[in-house]
Structure 1
Amino acid sequence: MKKRYFWTISLLILPLLALIGCSAQTTKQGSVGIERQQMLLVSEQEMQQGADQAYREVLAEAEKNHALNTDPKELKRLRTIASRLVPQTKIYREDAPDWQWEVNLLKSDELNAWCMPGGKIAFYTGIIDTLQLTDDEIAAIMGHEMAHALREHSRERASQQMVSQAGLTALSILTGIQGPALDASNLVMQTTFLLPNSRTHETEADRMGVELAARAGYDPYAAVSVWEKMGKLSKDAPPEFLSTHPSNATRVDDLKKYAAMVEPLYQQAKKNPPKPAKIVSQPNP
């Protein structure tokens, strides 16, 4: 009996271990030099399909609570900024400008913003109002969140979950206790709202974000002012947006360094404004 369990578990785990050895670079390096191999076991298509479903669920819940796109002027501002950022994503991924990018505004006091796989963006009114964000600062935050999607950080964390799930499956064979099943929508929800980004993910998003903003004609140094504002609010307990990577001197110094690196791109974009993309205007469920 024990030998049978051993071979069963081996058949489950050994192929997965082989896959773990496989890695990929999901984006080009850009001017800021992003270069890191990632373990990606979950397919890109699966993550994007899961994101589509998860995003609709979030929008439907917001609409039900009369919290979806309640400020047309602010929503237009967000989508205008996104329309300038989206074309710049080609610097990192050729296919990204053709994603079905969507931007929506959720009424909430929460200081938060995010971008699901495939370009599904949400900004909360709390982060805009509390920090009194300028267009440049919104571009800094939006570029940071878009970078998470471009770099497929959710897919990477979902793959890590897949490895953990395989371990639970093997354990359930031995114990008879079934672990929870994870579908793509649940994976996206978890990686967006529950599973924290690593410091490596945050640093990559910071650096890519300032380049996207600069290429779109937004001041890359605005990222510095955003985190300085955040830092003042997070002396006791960091807001949700900073829960895994609080603003500190190291982060601000890194942003200053990379903002200086991409400033020539910003000056060039100011002289020759890039052509904006079309952002989905009516994605309500």
Structure 2
Amino acid sequence: MGKQRRETPHRSRRGFLRTAGAAAGVALAGCLTSGRPATGSPVTVLAAGSLQHALETGLKPAVDASLRVEAHGSATVARLVAEGQRDPDIVAVADTALFGEPLSVPWYAVFASNAVVLAYNPDTDGGERVEAAGSDRWYEPLLAGEVALGRTDPDQDPLGYRTLFALELASRYYDDAPDLRATLPARDQVYPETGLLSQFETGSVDAAFAYRNMAVERGYDYVELPGQIDLGDPAYVDEWYSTVSYELAGGRRIDGGLIGYGATIRTSDGPARAVFDRLVAGSYLADSGFLLREQFPRYAGDVPAAVDTATGGG
């Protein structure tokens, strides 16, 4: 298969930063809604959990408007808007498929990519085993039950089902690996995306499947997975990523693909447009460990002229 190996574990700077209604089609209609009711009220962003740190520490200081960020798993974000439980100015998710269902948006911007990695705590015995195994044998200590593993719920956020995709692809990539998707996942490994890596501090897990940016932002060590597995390399979409899928609890099938973060704006308000512009085009994303490409932001659908002018997209 022309396998290529990447660097074994990535050594990062330890301790750097610890720290889906009432008619969704109307809520996210083709025309932007009216402006905010009161002057000076904050711009609200409902975002994927993996974006929270970057929005709070990178975007918020870079905009003039007051910004309020609420983060959940992307499937939860989409459900909250679709059911009318939230009415944010901006919606940002980790999988643009959610803009088709349960949300029905006329347009969105794709603004970042990511990669699945195996983050670990080298201060634990299990973490040491993951580190020693590296990118060639990382699954062996997991199979041996020597590592307390964390992951997220595939029915709540894309990282959850992308973890399952990575496990299935790994079984194809490594000649001697068993069916990792059938063998490794267990219910007691599941944590909310927004608190996954904090489990390192509590001692609940030794390692966790996470997005690259989540490890980079928090200064955690991680094993960088091969491109055929990590869902972050455009070269492997057709022959690798597109061959895996997951059926959500509601019966909808999600097909594998390149990781893509998308955002849409739901108000014509000037401050919100300015925030949206910086959100989809700010260099803070690279600083937080997201993968950026020259074509970002890339737009899909019927982009309103006001947004097109504000962001330079189209």
Q: Which has the higher strand share?
A: 2
Q: When the two structures are superposed, what TM-score results if normalisation uses the length of structure 2? A: 0.29
Q: When the two structures are superposed, what TM-score results if normalisation uses the length of structure 1? A: 0.31
Structure with larger RCO (C-alpha < 8 A, sep 6+): 2
